[in-house]
Amino acid sequence: MKAFILDRYKKKQPLRLGDLPEPTMGPGDVLIEVAAAGLNVLDAKIRNGEFKAILPYKPPLVLGHDLAGTVIRVGSGVRRFKAGDAVYARPRDGRIGTLAERIAVDEADVALKPNNLSMAEAASIPLVGLTAWQALVGYAKLKPGDKVLIHAGSGGVGTFAIQLAKHLGATVATTTSAGNADLVRGLGTDIVVDYRRQDFEKVLAGYDVVLNSLDGETLRKSLAVLKPGGKLISISGPPDPAFAKAQGLNVIFSLAVRLLSLGIRRRAKARGVDYAFLFMRANGAQLAEIAKLVEAGTIRPVMDRVVPFAETDEALTELEAGRSKGKVVVEIR
C-alpha cells in the first residue's frame, strides 16, 4: 500500500511517498480503507523530534492522527463494526499512521462517521474534537454560566472548542486576528480579542477556564485572566507530573517533566488556580457522542482546505506556519 513515510526525526524533514506492507491485524482490530486524513500540528511536532523522548515511535514511521474511511475487515473479537461501515477515528498513541491507504485500528478507538458529513469533513474532527471534549467536558466540567477563554479561536482545536463551549452554556472569549473575527463570532464567540492590537490579560478577568494552545508567554499571561479556583488547561505544554505518571515514564524523564512545568505550577498555585497539561487520548465512545452533536447541527466542522494525497508533505509544512483557518485535510481516496 502507499503511505507517506518519515525516515528520520528532523525539523521540516520531508515525508517520502513509498510502499509499505499491508497492516497487521489483531482480534480486536478494524481494518480501514482511509478515504481522508486530517493534518495536525502534532504531526509536525513528532516529525521534528519534539516528542521522541515520551512517545513510542522509531523511524521509519507513518504520521497521521485523524481518519475517515470504510471498514474492509474486522478481527474475530470485533462486535460493533462490520465490513462496509463508514467510520472515523483517532488511532491511539503507538498505532498512528493515517497518512496511508489502509490502517488497522483498535475497535475501541473507532466510531461511526457522522451521517451528514463527507469523508473529508469527518476526517477533520477526531483529534480536535476529542481534545476539546476532554478539556472542556472531562477536565473543566464546563457548565452553564461559566466563562471560558479559548486561545487561537480560528485554529483546528479553537473552532471546535468554541462551538462545544457554547453548547455547554458557557460565555466564550477567544484570541484571534481581526481578519478571523467574523469566523469565530459565527461559531458563537461572545468576546473577540484581537491579539495584534489588544493584550487579552488586560481586557479579560474573572474567567473559570482557559484553554491554551499557544506558547509559554501566553500560558503565563493567562493566569491573570482566571479567578481563584479557575482551571488553566494547556495542550501545548509544558507537561506535568500527572502526564508523566499516565505515560509510565521512567524516573529520569519523570523528573525532567516535573522540572519543565515547575514554574507554571508554582505560579498557578500562588494564584489559587489549577494547572493541567492535556495530552488527548483516543476514545471511540467520545467520538460517538461528538457525532450526535454534529448530526444535530450543534457543531459543524471548519476546514481550511482539502488537498490531494500527493501534496501531503507540502500541506504539513504550510500547516506548521500556523495560518490555517480550521483544519487541513488530505484526500486519499
Amino acid 33 reads: E
pLDDT at 85: 98
pLDDT class for 323, splitting at 50, 70, 90?
confident
DSSP 129-168: HHHHIIIIIIIS---TT-EEEESSTTSHHHHHHHHHHHHT
Out of 139-153, 178-192, 234-248, 307-321, least confident range: 234-248
Domain boundaries, the chain: 2-125+301-331, 127-277
Q: What is 127-277's CATH topology?
A: Rossmann fold (3.40.50)
Which residues neighbour 118 within 8 Å (Cβ) at sequence distance 6 or greater? none
pLDDT at 305: 95
pLDDT at 106 over 90: yes
Give the residue among 65, 31, 47 at the shortest CA–CA distance from 328.
Answer: 65
Decide if 216 contacts 155 (C-beta within 8 A).
no
pLDDT at 42 over 80: yes
pLDDT class for 298, splitting at 50, 70, 90?
very high
Average pLDDT value for residue range 243-263: 87
Give the three cell numbers for residue 82. Answer: 462490520
pLDDT at 115: 98
**Rounded to an integer, what distance in angstroms lies between the CA atom of residue 35 and that of residue 308?**
11
pLDDT at 54: 77
**Rounded to an integer, what distance in angstroms lies between the CA atom of residue 180 and that of residue 189?**
11
Q: Indicate the burial class of 284 (C-beta count within 10 angstroms; 0-12, 13-18, 19 or more).
A: buried
Average pLDDT value for residue range 74-85: 98
Encode burial over 13-39: b for 16+ CB neighbours within 10 A, e otherwise.
bebeeeebeebebeebbbbbbbbbbbb
150 bridge partner residues: 174, 211
pLDDT at 53 over 80: no
The torsion angles phi and psi of 184, rounded to 5 degrees, stand at -70, -30
Can you point out the beta strands (E) in 63-145?
A: 67-74, 86-89, 102-106, 110-112
pTM confidence score: 0.95
pLDDT at 252: 83
pLDDT at 165: 98
Pairing, β 2-6 against β 274-277: unpaired
Q: Do 2-125+301-331 and 127-277 show the same overall fold?
A: no
pLDDT at 250: 82
pLDDT at 246: 84
pLDDT tens by residue, 110-138: 999 999 999 999 999 999 999 999 999 99
**Dihedral through CA 132, CA 136, CA 139, CA 143, nearest 10?**
-160
Domain 2-125+301-331: CATH architecture, name and number where available: Alpha-Beta Complex (3.90)
Q: What percent of the chain has pLDDT over 90?
A: 88
pLDDT at 76: 97
Q: What percent of the chain has pLDDT over 70?
A: 100
What's the chain's average pLDDT? Answer: 95
